[in-house]
Amino acid sequence: MVFNSYTFIVFFILILILHNLPLGWKTKKVNLLLASYLFYAAWNPPFILLLWLSTVVDYFVGRALYRQENKHKKRFLLVISLIGNLGMLCFFKYGTFLLDNFVHLVNAIGFDYHPAKPNIILPAGISFYTFTTLCYTIDMYKKKSEPVKSMLDFSLFVTFFPHLVAGPIVRPPQLVPQFESPRKATQQQLSQGLLLLSLGLFMKVVLADSMLSGSANTVFNAHGPMQSLDAWMGVLAFSGQIFFDFAGYSTCAIGVALCLGFVLPHNFLFPYASIGFSDFWRRWHITLSAWLRDYLYIPLGGNRNGKVRTYMNLMITMLLGGLWHGASWTFVVWGALHGFYLWVEKIIVDIRKDKVQPIALTPSAEVGVLGPPPEFLKKEKPQQLRTGLVYFFPDQCNLGIFQGPGFPFSVGYAQCHVWRCGTCRSDADNPGND
């Protein structure tokens, strides 16, 4: 079930009615949990078993991690959680990709190997709820927060339907405390939530799916070279389409939760107003950027072990961040390009001692966590405007690579020819195809 469907409208109205009835708080939480399972089952009911498995395992492993004092046993419990969660993610999301590459490699060295296609179905939202449960067990390992008190609250935290299939990626301290006491939307929250839901649907349905998709698809499905202006129009149309698609869906999620009295973290902050690539990752998919910072970049060493390690950590983080978006070499290259851009930005900043904070200088900027508003939002400066323009054009070309599964895409500053490439939408940007 997706937000932009008539089924969801009926579903949401019924949930609002049930949530506002004079029932006990535990009964309301059970209603929300059952509604979340129904929301997920509307796509493919058997995959609820995976959701249950991830929830149950991480709930008990998390509690054991928090109470366990023996370091070896704690590591063993953490490994169980990592293998369980990442194992499921790798099999369902990357199984076909890994097998295809293995077959190509084996055939390239002279062996005739052609196995049957695995035909693996990708469960909706697995990338999102895997990261949601993983952050809980890792936090329990480091004792960063208290264990969730009840299985009901933890299950609702993992499966709460507004964020289940397309984020925002929430952490226990952001959502679990809201389940501990009765919550009901005030009149102001309800009106704001409905406004955000309407705005998100407008962004998703009208702008992304209707106004911009046609131009983007025409250009990226072209059979041969085209005029430079047409090529740039396609690139810009896709840059708008991917933003309105994903940001619109996230806005819907925040609005739906607010209508029920719950607050979810924001996920976008005017990303195309960025003045650099590190600033872009402070604004685009904020919850994913923060997750990558706290659970990947910093554990790798962050910027604490010299410049070479900092560059390596940046590239590893961006490569895995690109691969998280989709099982394709296209996304790996997309991540590598952003890692390279961040390298260049850091080198320039180190040389010029510019005020623009690179991704690895401060904890608030590491891999895109939301920092203070950039100065150009307070007072426009010509130098910052030039920086923004320098950032804008390579990033828009980069979006072309994000659009296609292969490499026959080329936008040059002189020619801007676009060759035929198939449409490849990120799982993070297409909630129906995680």
Active site residues: 325
- What is the distance between the alpha carbons of residues 16 and 145, in angstroms, rounded to a whole number? 31
Contact partners, residue 344, CB within 8 Å, separation at least 6: none
Q: Are 125 and 434 in contact (CB under 8 A)?
A: yes
**Nearest residue to 167 via CA among 121, 127, 122, 209:** 127
Local structure of 122: helix, strand or coil? coil
Contact partners, residue 279, CB within 8 Å, separation at least 6: 356, 374
CB-CB neighbours of 42 under 10 Å: 15
- What is the distance between the alpha carbons of residues 389 and 398, in angstroms, rounded to a whole number? 14
Give the single-character DSSP code of 274.
-
Residue 424: phi, psi to the nearest 5? Answer: -135, 105
- What is the distance between the alpha carbons of residues 111 and 68, in angstroms, rounded to a whole number? 49
- What is the distance between the alpha carbons of residues 66 and 68, in angstroms, rounded to a whole number? 6
Q: Are 96 and 118 in contact (CB under 8 A)?
A: yes
Integer CA distances (angstroms), 41 to 7, 123, 166, in order: 13, 11, 15
